[in-house]
Structure 1
C-alpha cells in the first residue's frame, strides 16, 4: 500500500509531458536572427536515371530574406525576399519576372525556413510529429494552385530545418539538405550589402 502511494505521489509530482506543437516549432525556427549553411539539392526527374545535383551556401536573415548562392554545377547568386527573386549579374541584382506559381513557391520556401506556420496554414494542412530535437512536418496542399504542383512536402529538422522534400504531382521530387546550418545574430558587411536594394 505504501509503495502504491509513493508511486502515485511521484506521478502527481511529475509534470505531464507536453506534445511538441506548431506554435513551439514556429517559435524555435523563428528565434535566430541569421542562419547560414551549405545546401545540397537533388532534383529527381522521372526521365533521368540519376538526380541533378547542385550545391552551394545560403544565408537566411530575419526581416531581409534569403541569399541562395549556387556554387556547382554553375555559379549563380539569388536573393529571395518580399519583392520576389532577384538574380545577380554584372550590373548587380536584377528582379526576375514573377509568374504566379514561382512567386507562390518563393513565399512558401521563405515561410518554411523562417518557421512561419501561420503563413503555411493558409495554403496547407500541417501535420507535425516528433520533438523539438527531432521533428517531421508534412504539408498537404489545400490551395488549388499548389495542388497542381505538389502532392505533399515533408520537412524535418531539430533546432533548425535540416531537410525539405518536395513531391510534385507529375512524379518528380526535389530533396534539399542543409545538414550543418548555424544560427547567428548578425550579418557580415558583405551580406548586409547583398540584402540592400
Structure 2
C-alpha cells in the first residue's frame, strides 16, 4: 500500500481524481465479486455488470450464479429475481449501511468531493496514475454497517472496490476496464 499523502497534496490529488472519475465516459463495467462472510464456510461469487447513470441511478445486474438486479434510483432500491418471480422496492433508509455505500458511489461518479467528505473520512494515497482511496463513514449506522470502503485504480479506471463491514465480512469487486 502506498504512503498517505500530506494533507494539502491529498486535497489536490483527491479533487483531481474525483473530477476525472466523474468525467470518465465509461459508465458500464463488468464485475467479479467475492463475498467473505463469517456465516459462510466458503466465499460466494457473483459476476455481472455495474451501470452508472448520474446523478442518482446505479444498477448492479448479476448474471452468475443467478440472474438478479439491484437498481437504485433516488432513495429507492428495486430488487429483481426473475427465476423466483421477485420484484420488490425498498427504501434506502431501511438499510443505512447500503445507503452510506450508495452515497459514496454517487459522490464519486458525480465528482462531488464535498459530499464525499461530508459522509466519509477520506484518505488517499499514491498518485493519479496509481491511487488508493479509503472511505470510513463519519457515523456508524448500526452493528452490521460499513467499516471502511477501499477503492483502487489507475487514472480514471476504478479497478477494485473492497467493502469491509463492522461484523468482519467483506466484499471484493474487481471491475473490468470495459464491457465485452
Indicate the TM-score class for this superposition, using the shorter chain for normalisation: 0.7 to 0.9
Matched, 1:57 2:57: no
2:39 is matched with 47
1-structure distance, mates of 2:46, 2:70: 14
Q: Secondary structure at the match of 1:21?
A: helix
Ranges in structure 2 where 5+ consecutive residues have no aligned partner: 1-8
Larger Rg: 1
Aligned length: 165
Q: Which residue of 1 aligns with 2:165?
A: 168
Question: What are the ranges of 5 or more consecutive residues in structure 1 without an aligned counterpart?
Answer: 1-17, 183-197
Select 1:78's aligned residue among 70, 76, 91: 70
TM-score using structure 1 length? 0.71
Q: TM-score, normalised by structure 2?
A: 0.77
Q: Mean alpha-carbon deviation: is it higher for 50-59 or for 106-115?
A: 106-115
Residues 88, 152 of structure 1: alpha-carbon distance in 2 compared, 3 angstrom cutoff: closer
Q: Secondary structure at the match of 1:177?
A: strand
Structure-2 change in CA distance of 1:176 and 1:121 (3 Å): same
Q: What is the root-mean-square deviation in Å for CA atoms of aligned residues?
A: 2.7
Q: CA deviation at 1:35?
A: 1.3
CA–CA separation in structure 1 for the residues paired with 2:95 and 2:135: 20
**Kept after mapping to 2: 8 A contact 1:35/1:181:** no
Q: Which residue does the alignment assign to 1:106?
A: 102
* 1:24 aligns with one of 8, 16, 21: 16
Deviations 1:7-60 (A, max 9, x none): xxxxxxxxxxx7761110111101034511101111101233321111101221
Which of 139, 152, 156 matches 2:152? 156
